[in-house]
Chain A
Amino acid sequence: QMQLLQSGAEVKKPGASVTVSCRASGHSFTDDYIHWVRQAPGQGLEWMGWIMPKSGSKLSAQSFQGRVTMSRDTSINTAYMELHELNPDDTAFYYCARVSRSDRPFDTWGQGTLVTVSS
């Protein structure tokens, strides 16, 4: 059974960038989609985008276009999400999640990575 393990908490200053990693174990993730979802404190879930590790194809939500970079390293079963030009409103838990097909559910989630943006 697939598990997704994310990198640890980060504290960043406004204007900086942050990279969150998501390593898959127990199952090769090359044929899946890895999505990124964030949740600000006390708020709901916000979809950020996806990457297909096999092809490298990706798509980001319009609200993050130009500010998010998604990548992957298939040799170590790891996906990455880099968010640029951070501001305090980007303080949130960031989750990676697996989807086998676009209309299928997020059936596996990472544990979440807290990113705090503060001067």
Chain B
Amino acid sequence: SYVLTQPPSVSVAPGQTASITCGGIGVGGKSVHWYQQKPGQAPVLVIYSDRDRPSGIPDRFSGSNSRDTATLSISRVEAGDEADFYCQVWDYTNDHQVFGGGTRLTVL
């Protein structure tokens, strides 16, 4: 089955840019979606189809996807961005949805 690998944690100072990676064999050929989850809340979609933002998501959030790595970038990081982030793709070979293990973003 398809596997997505994320770093367990990423730390960044306020005002800097955070980059969270999502690795998978040939993930560049898939459509990657990203979710933000704050404690006690359901996940919220922040990036879909590699780089598109849902309405209401600040343009500080951006995404890219190439070859074996997709990346979620958050510029001008704020304390309120602290959360767990998950990448997700559809594995067409078995029609399963796959989540990465999640990355905890800490704002120093």
Contact = CB atoms under 8 A, between A and B. Distances in A.
Interface in B61-108: 84, 86, 88, 90, 92, 95-102
Interface residues of B, number: 25
Contact of B99 (A44, A50, A62, A110): A44
Interface string A44-55: 111100100000
B102 A104 contact: no
Given A35-B97, A102-B92, A112-B42, A45 B86 contact: yes
Contacts, number: 56
A44 B86 contact: yes
A61 B94 CA distance: 9
A55 B44 CA distance: 28
A71 interface: no
Instruction: Please report whether the interface of chain A is mostly helix, strand, loop or mixed according to DSSP.
Output: loop
Interface centre among B92, B97, B100 (most CB of A within 10 A): B97
Instruction: Please report whether the interface of chain B is mostly helix, strand, loop or mixed according to DSSP.
Output: strand
A105 B102 CA distance: 16
A109 interface: yes
Interface residues of A, number: 22
Given A102-B90, A102-B92, A112-B42, A107 B99 contact: no
A95 B92 CA distance: 22
B49 to A, nearest CB: 8
A47 B43 contact: no
Interface of A: 35, 37, 44-47, 50, 59, 61-62, 95, 99, 102-107, 109-112
